[in-house]
Amino acid sequence: MAKILIASNNPGKLVEIQALLGPDADLGTLELLLPRHLGMALDVVEDGLSYAENAALKAMAYYKAVPAYSKDALIILGDDSGLEVDALGGKPGLHSARYSAKPGATDADRRAYLLENLAGCGVPRPWPAHFHCTVALVSPAGVLEYAEGDCPGEIIAVERGSNGFGYDAIFLLPTHGLTMAELAMDEKNQLSHRAQAIKAAIPLLKRWIGG
């Protein structure tokens, strides 16, 4: 059985990736793990200058640490994603997960801060935006490769939906009339930036695990 360690402690990512790498991916039986499942607790500094650099920093940090925690040969999957809003010059971008100076800021705090900045930016709605995701994968042999995905949409001023995390509740998909947080999981896994990146990574995973 192939095992993939997701270089994140975000349970929301685990749920999404489990669905994306299910039977339809034709990868055979997989076991997906979070660091906490192995008792790992790494603090990776994400100081890269691009999504790819940050994703690789996470993936390689866990790749180097895995031998101390597991005897299994693991594929490591790290990702970095961000929301880029046109009216804010592409912000928050790389800093999406740290877009509030408030200590211990929650997703709700970051959404509120984004909307506060948009309200004062002088640009009328609609506020076009897109999510971007870069996935970095490290094979058991230490080979590093990437896959990318994007999802276009716009920011709305009122939160809607409860099926997502991060900025999902204020990210509207105009083609569907729904926010990312209003989509059912199967719909989100056809549209989201992370879904597109993971799907782009499936041929690579097939080569590595023989699926």
> What does the DSSP assignment read for 15-33?
HHHHHHTSGGG---SEEEE
Residue 25 DSSP code:
G
What's the pLDDT score for residue 71?
85
Section 111-140 average pLDDT: 96
Count H helices, E strands: the chain?
5, 7
What's the pLDDT score for residue 23?
84
- Per residue in 169-179, pLDDT tens? 999 999 999 99
Q: What is the largest CA-CA distance in the chain?
A: 56
What's the pLDDT score for residue 165?
84
The question of whether 150 is a catalytic residue gets the answer: no
What is the second-level CATH architecture of the domain 2-209? Alpha-Beta Complex (3.90)
Q: Of 72, 79, 80, 168, which residue is the catalytic one?
A: 80
Chain centroid to CA 73: 23
Q: What are the residue boundaries of the structural domains of the chain, listed by start?
A: 2-209
Q: Determine which of 63-72, 79-88, 121-130, 141-150 has the lowest per-residue pLDDT on average.
A: 63-72
Which residues does 147 contact at the CB level (< 8 Å), separation at least 6? 134, 135, 137, 197, 198, 200, 201, 204
What's the pLDDT score for residue 22?
84
- Per residue in 8-25, pLDDT tens? 988 878 888 988 888 888
- Per residue in 1-10, pLDDT tens? 899 999 998 8
What's the pLDDT score for residue 63?
96
Q: How many residues does the structure list for the chain?
A: 211
Contact 5, 76 (CB under 8 A): yes
93 vs 108: CA distance, rounded Å: 17
